[in-house]
Structure 1
Amino acid sequence: MKEREKWIGLFCARLFEENNIRFIQELQKQGQRENYRIMIFSLDTCVEEDTENVPAELELIRLSQYISLDAGIILAESIKNYVLLEHIARIMHVKEVPCFCIERQIEGCYCLFHTEETGFEPMVRHVIQDHGARKINMLAGFKNNLYSQMRIEQYKKVLAENGIPFEEERLGYGDFWDRPARREMQRFLNSNLPMPDAIVCANDAMAIVACDMLHDAGYRVPEDVIVTGYDGINEGKVYSPVLSTCIPDNVGAASFIFREIHKFIKNKVIIPHSYQIEYRVELNQSCGCCKKSQNDHNKVVGKLNADLGDSVWHTLAMNNLISSVVPLHTVREIAKILPDTEYMWCDHLRYACVKENLIYGKEDGTFQTMTTIMRGSHEEFTNTEHTFHIDHWLDEIRSELEDCTFLLLRVLNIQERAFGYTADALEKIDRRATQRCDEFSMFLSNSINMVLQQQKLNELKEHLLQANHELAELSERDAMTGVYNRRGFFIQFNEMLQKTKKKYVVLISIDMNRLKYINDTFGHAEGDFAICSLAKAVERIGTQDGICARFGGDEFDCVFFTDDKAFYTEEKIQKELQNHLDVTDGMQEKEYPVTASVGMAVKEITKDFAIEDLIKTADRLMYQNKKENKRSGADYGRKKTNTKKGNMSI
């Protein structure tokens, strides 16, 4: 019978930091004896007030609710954000499994706290009592930082116990990292105070800076000045001299966790209580307790060189990914290029999926239905674009997890916008492995974001083009009748003039009869109806070779291109126009006729052709026709078709 899967969920931010890596390595070392594997939910939020990524990282945390876990572990000091911390704890409580929280008190959780005084205080005491140091400088962390202040108080306490007065100038704030530590060390070296016998540092990184600067200034460590660190980073173990430091008892912490898990499995009862993680002093060369020796650095240098090479190749591949994404238009296209850009890794599962809607060019949607966009292992890529429901997410990759010890999960996101997640199956975990996963997640997130932004830009461009087209139409059309206005007439005419192969231009000027009578007698609404009716009739007499437009009020102009100058006549135009007017919807019920006067002019298209001259001629002839209609009374009759011959100029 196959043994059931045994997973411990671990939630952590800034996974690449050594203190986190060392704890996880010890957890894995003890857990593998009973075939426990560790599922790491790797977050970015590491400041209490930071809320930018919280909505996206909540999506990653929620993945834990769909799988069977034996326990949850929260590295709370790395995450800090209470929204995330409480959400993780709530999921573990709902799942009814033990939840262990390190460096935070959360209701219902086993709480593990580092006991600072068990390490730093004994180290200061060792320097004074075992090495006889009396002049002792300290490189502390940040001002007003809880852990930095605790170590300062222990430093002062041990000085007082041994009758050594505290001197403010011998305390420097190195902020736990290189540059501020160098500034404070330079101040120590330039001080008028006698050189110290020892420098106790609040972490190993600052201790290495102290050793370097003492060496550059001509002092020997530990012969002239003792230097000690705190927290036991790997660099301190391979540094020369090897650092004397204090290291947390990760062995004891991991043992406590597994003991409580075993109790829960046996009794099915969760009884949260606290555990103190003590620090122990680890004496070495930098305090003089161990003789200096020529360390074998081959393995260290080899590993660093391998990590550097991997970083170079991975960065090149990620840059290649970004470059390849620039011309793409959809997330689906990203899935197609991933096998070509992810060529640098070959020994473990690398997986990525996104919200299904993204595949179809939409950014909305939730982590309910997901689509695989990359699945690779041992240089083989298979089964992309498979869609599944989120509660089956582990089933998607279970077959590739046989030999893995760690499953590292990262969210694909840009701040609060979550796209999907990545999963990397690893046999062992170290800083470079975690950085590689971070890099891939970051570059893929940016790639997806680039494509989505490009989609938005393209949509915006389409909308702008459509809007411009509509604005152009509005600027060329008469608002009331919908036919071209004077501006539209000239634009369309000039375009058609450039394209036409016809020989003649025919210009027809049309003006409604007795519009004032209709307005004054029946109202302006009826006048508008009459104008719109005439506009429809004018449009209907147009052909594909013509343009009709309202030039203002009740005046309309039509222009036609023809090879037969006798094809259009005033009588033909006037009759066709009146026929269209008489059958206009609603016209039969009106108490007034709608008629029009017409003038027509024809001119051959030549190099010096000017439409303005033709318009003036047609207008003049139209007004002659209007006078004749008025004299004859043709413009008064009820629906009398004016067939009187108009005027024509050639």
Structure 2
Amino acid sequence: MIGKYKIAALCICRIQDRECFELIHELDGQLGNIGCRLFVYNCISRPDKNSSSAETAVFDLIDPSFCDVVIIQSDRFGNYDFCKALAQKYREMGLPVISLGENISDCINFEYRRGDGFADIVSHMVKYHGYTNIHMIAGVKGEYYSDERIMAFRNVLSENNIPFDDSMVSYGDYWSVPAIDAVKKLIKENRLPRAIVCANDQMAVAVTNYLQDQGISVPDDVAITGFDGIETIYSADPTVSSSGIYPLTNAKEICHAVNTIFSEGYAAKNIPLFPELIINESCGCKSEKHRMKFNSSASYNELMNKFYRFQDENIILSNVSERIQQCKSFADIADEMRKDDLMYAMTCVIKSECIDESVNPEEKIQMRFRNKMFVLYDSDDIDLKKSVGEKFIPYNMDGRDIIPNMNGFIGRCLIFTALSYLGVPMGYTCYHFSSYIPSNYYKIPQTVNMLNNALGGLRNLRHQHYLLNKVDEISRIDALTGLFNRHGFLIEYENILRGLGSNSLAVIMCDLDGLKAINDKYGHDNGDFAIKNTAQALKRVCPPNAACTRFGGDEIMAVFPCCGTENNIRGMLYKELDCVNERSGKPYKIAASVGIYITQNGEKPSFDELIRYSDKLMYEEKKRRKTLRTN
């Protein structure tokens, strides 16, 4: 529950399909009537047998801290085991689960009696019209729903004493071309029947159009029926008879089940829902015009708009993808995403590791979205800031907030889709459209796929840049001390000389005292300890702009433009080493001799000259310290 609203989470697959977004539209309206809001969690493609698909990470966003009921459109996923595991996970969280299509243990299961619905349309052809020479074009051979409809077909024939054999069934794979090929085969073999029942509407419309093109009248020569009740059956000539479950009917029944859970409590049960006959002209009847007033001109116009818009937006999104991968900052990415006004009413949230260039983009990180997330894009916030002359800056967010300004969008249906690249989940988008426009749903997979490629490609480029910098760093940095090696120092020294002008340089040379004795008595690990701590101590006492290098076994040097404190460095270093000795607990003391050389104003000695000057002073210091210890 969020505020005063209960939250229903709908897990779906392929939101871009009309039957999906029509159900969402109707369900959102029905749930709103009972004070409930709909959050939609969408997979663009059907998950395969590997339920760890990165796309399915979107379902990890559902949490009992705000969610009151989960609805799984299980018949859309085509993967019973995945839906069963999903339902079990939510039941273990204590959430009520409604399964649409598949019977899952401990759930409220909506049983879509499609087999019975298909039997009804076959019965209409056999009993009402009296067709006995009848053929079926099924879906995919061996597929569950296709076999279910074949069984319904056989049962109706049996009930009406019509003999059945396997030659009475062809397979059209639910698509136009295979269905037409099946009809061509029947014509070639001179077996064209009086009636054909198709396992879905798309095949029925395609077969109707093909037969008419061949001069074979539908329904006078061959009667045709489909199944599912999609909108296209009304644009065919003749209109195609079918059977289907209307989205509004479905939504009302689901809403009733949700309301019962809220008012009476949760109890697992099965709720049958039967498809309704849609009587049109292709079977030989008159069209049920009251069912739908179909405007073929408007439908054609919508189809053409969708087609051309898809092409235009694909080109624009491709350009956006290129521009994103060239951006130098995350704020620039947000600007590029908003520039063409395609990504409106949208928020994009990514995992914090996706902004860390040191993380390998191909590394299999945990699926669940962590507490620390990063708001990369928020179209509404960008527009608001732009209106007052400000720039949107992406920012960190607590993952438990899901999206920023959640309460501001609670009146809208929220649609979440995971972002992923190379099988690794990166984050998610959240759409919060203020009105129902079908084209908004069509473009969700377009936009998400673009962001997957753009952000995935950008992560790759950033990681490659990071690796190149690391290689460069390795070539310049001494592994033991973290100071420059000779190669790195020479590069940095050149930078110092270029900015030196007429100033003088301070050259500090440091050499450990008694390193050989430490190595001999306590081992080289302790010798390395002494070198490292001396190097770090020198770096700490030098100014930030100093170039510090280890260029020999225990020889350490620092060079920097004179700043007035160089003559204090010897004493400061000795104090630092005293502190190291106090903390280390080692049985030996780390000591060092320090030589300091100040160049003349504007003098720019070579590297070898630096070493020669400071070496001389350092060995004088060693001799002085040795004399002090002797005395």
* TM range, smaller chain: 0.5 to 0.7
Q: SS at the partner of 2:298?
A: helix
| Equivalent of 1:361 in 357, 363, 366 | 357
Give the whole-Å Cα distance in 2 for the aligned partners of 1:483 and 1:228.
83
Give the whole-Å Cα distance in 1 for the aligned partners of 2:144 and 2:15.
22
Please show how residues 144-183 of structure 1 align to structure 2 within 5 Å: 144-183=142-181
User: What is the root-mean-square deviation of aligned Cα atoms in Å?
Assistant: 3.9
| Equivalent of 1:411 in 413, 418, 421 | 418
1:33 and 2:36 correspond: no
Give the whole-Å Cα distance in 2 for the aligned partners of 1:81 and 1:171.
26
Q: SS at the partner of 1:165?
A: coil
Give the whole-Å Cα distance in 1 for the aligned partners of 2:131 and 2:117.
18
How far residue 52 of structure 1 moved from its aligned partner, in angstroms, is 5.6
**Structure 1 residues 353 and 278, CA, compared in 2 at 3 Å: closer, same or farther?**
same
How far residue 428 of structure 1 moved from its aligned partner, in angstroms, is 4.8
How far residue 227 of structure 1 moved from its aligned partner, in angstroms, is 0.6
**Structure 1 residues 68 and 261, CA, compared in 2 at 3 Å: closer, same or farther?**
same
**Structure 1 residues 355 and 295, CA, compared in 2 at 3 Å: closer, same or farther?**
closer
Q: SS at the partner of 2:379?
A: strand
Once the two structures are superposed, what CA deviation does each residue of 1:388-417 show, in whole Å capped at 9, x if it has no partner?
A: 211112453432454x2x211111111431
How far residue 39 of structure 1 moved from its aligned partner, in angstroms, is 0.9
2:379 aligned partner: 376
| 1:238 alignment partner AA | S
**Structure 1 residues 155 and 311, CA, compared in 2 at 3 Å: closer, same or farther?**
same
| Equivalent of 1:191 in 181, 189, 192 | 189
**Structure 1 residues 400 and 312, CA, compared in 2 at 3 Å: closer, same or farther?**
farther
| Equivalent of 1:461 in 468, 473, 478 | 468
Q: Is the 8 A contact 1:170 1:188 kept in 2?
A: no
Q: Is the 8 A contact 2:322 2:454 kept in 1?
A: no
**Structure 1 residues 134 and 260, CA, compared in 2 at 3 Å: closer, same or farther?**
closer
Greater shift, 209-218 or 153-162, is seen at 153-162
Q: Is the 8 A contact 1:330 1:451 kept in 2?
A: no
Q: Is the 8 A contact 1:75 1:103 kept in 2?
A: yes
Give the whole-Å Cα distance in 2 for the aligned partners of 1:483 and 1:399.
59
1:446 aligned partner: 453
Give the whole-Å Cα distance in 2 for the aligned partners of 1:355 and 1:121.
50
How far residue 453 of structure 1 moved from its aligned partner, in angstroms, is 0.7
Q: Is the 8 A contact 1:241 1:292 kept in 2?
A: no
2:318 aligned partner: 319
Q: SS at the partner of 1:380?
A: helix
2:8 aligned partner: 8
Q: Is the 8 A contact 2:64 2:93 kept in 1?
A: no
Please show how residues 388-399 of structure 1 align to structure 2 within 5 Å: 388-399=397-408
**Structure 1 residues 176 and 138, CA, compared in 2 at 3 Å: closer, same or farther?**
same
How far residue 201 of structure 1 moved from its aligned partner, in angstroms, is 0.1
Identity of aligned residues (%): 20
Q: Is the 8 A contact 2:349 2:403 kept in 1?
A: no
How far residue 451 of structure 1 moved from its aligned partner, in angstroms, is 0.8
Q: Is the 8 A contact 2:357 2:466 kept in 1?
A: no
1:424 aligned partner: 431
| 1:233 alignment partner AA | I
How far residue 468 of structure 1 moved from its aligned partner, in angstroms, is 7.6
Give the whole-Å Cα distance in 2 for the aligned partners of 1:180 and 1:307.
25
Q: Is the 8 A contact 2:374 2:394 kept in 1?
A: yes
| 2:261 alignment partner AA | F
**Structure 1 residues 115 and 73, CA, compared in 2 at 3 Å: closer, same or farther?**
same
How far residue 309 of structure 1 moved from its aligned partner, in angstroms, is 4.4
Give the whole-Å Cα distance in 1 for the aligned partners of 2:267 and 2:409.
36
Greater shift, 278-287 or 304-313, is seen at 304-313
Please show how residues 232-311 of structure 1 align to structure 2 within 5 Å: 232-248=229-245, 250-267=247-264, 269-290=265-286, 296-311=295-310
Give the whole-Å Cα distance in 2 for the aligned partners of 1:292 and 1:273.
35
| Equivalent of 1:385 in 380, 386, 394 | 394
In structure 2, runs of 5+ residues without a counterpart are 360-364, 386-391, 478-484, 488-550, 556-612, 624-631
Q: SS at the partner of 2:376?
A: strand
Q: Is the 8 A contact 1:202 1:229 kept in 2?
A: yes
Greater shift, 460-469 or 132-141, is seen at 460-469
How far residue 191 of structure 1 moved from its aligned partner, in angstroms, is 1.4
**Structure 1 residues 239 and 187, CA, compared in 2 at 3 Å: closer, same or farther?**
same
Give the whole-Å Cα distance in 1 for the aligned partners of 2:320 and 2:143.
41
2:75 aligned partner: 77
Q: Is the 8 A contact 2:19 2:247 kept in 1?
A: no
How far residue 66 of structure 1 moved from its aligned partner, in angstroms, is 6.2
How far residue 449 of structure 1 moved from its aligned partner, in angstroms, is 0.7
1:136 and 2:145 correspond: no
Please show how residues 209-220 of structure 1 align to structure 2 within 5 Å: 209-220=206-217
Give the whole-Å Cα distance in 2 for the aligned partners of 1:291 and 1:452.
56
Q: SS at the partner of 2:62?
A: helix
Q: SS at the partner of 1:451?
A: helix
Give the whole-Å Cα distance in 2 for the aligned partners of 1:26 and 1:264.
19
2:220 aligned partner: 223
Q: Is the 8 A contact 2:37 2:410 kept in 1?
A: no
2:102 aligned partner: 104
1:491 aligned partner: none
**Structure 1 residues 381 and 371, CA, compared in 2 at 3 Å: closer, same or farther?**
farther
Greater shift, 288-297 or 235-244, is seen at 288-297
Give the whole-Å Cα distance in 2 for the aligned partners of 1:295 and 1:103.
29
**Structure 1 residues 88 and 105, CA, compared in 2 at 3 Å: closer, same or farther?**
same
How far residue 233 of structure 1 moved from its aligned partner, in angstroms, is 1.1
How far residue 450 of structure 1 moved from its aligned partner, in angstroms, is 0.7
How far residue 457 of structure 1 moved from its aligned partner, in angstroms, is 2.2
Q: Is the 8 A contact 2:347 2:403 kept in 1?
A: no
Q: SS at the partner of 1:285?
A: coil
**Structure 1 residues 84 and 369, CA, compared in 2 at 3 Å: closer, same or farther?**
farther
| 2:372 alignment partner AA | T
| 2:66 alignment partner AA | S
Q: Is the 8 A contact 1:118 1:280 kept in 2?
A: no
Give the whole-Å Cα distance in 2 for the aligned partners of 1:90 and 1:483.
62
| 2:121 alignment partner AA | M
Q: SS at the partner of 2:257?
A: helix
The structure whose Rg is larger is 1
- Equivalenced residue count is 483
Q: Is the 8 A contact 1:74 1:102 kept in 2?
A: yes
| Equivalent of 1:89 in 64, 75, 87 | 87
Q: SS at the partner of 1:65?
A: coil
Once the two structures are superposed, what CA deviation does each residue of 1:11-36 show, in whole Å capped at 9, x if it has no partner?
A: 01122223333433332343233343
TM-score (norm: length of structure 2): 0.68
How far residue 345 of structure 1 moved from its aligned partner, in angstroms, is 5.6
2:440 aligned partner: 433
Give the whole-Å Cα distance in 1 for the aligned partners of 2:261 and 2:122.
40
**Structure 1 residues 87 and 161, CA, compared in 2 at 3 Å: closer, same or farther?**
closer
Greater shift, 146-155 or 254-263, is seen at 254-263
Once the two structures are superposed, what CA deviation does each residue of 1:483-542 show, in whole Å capped at 9, x if it has no partner?
A: 99xxxxxxxxxxxxxxxxxxxxxxxxxxxxxxxxxxxxxxxxxxxxxxxxxx999x9xxx
Give the whole-Å Cα distance in 2 for the aligned partners of 1:185 and 1:281.
24
Give the whole-Å Cα distance in 1 for the aligned partners of 2:200 and 2:119.
13
Give the whole-Å Cα distance in 1 for the aligned partners of 2:123 and 2:80.
37
How far residue 49 of structure 1 moved from its aligned partner, in angstroms, is 0.8
Q: SS at the partner of 2:67?
A: coil
Give the whole-Å Cα distance in 2 for the aligned partners of 1:323 and 1:536.
48
Q: Is the 8 A contact 2:49 2:82 kept in 1?
A: no
Q: SS at the partner of 2:173?
A: coil
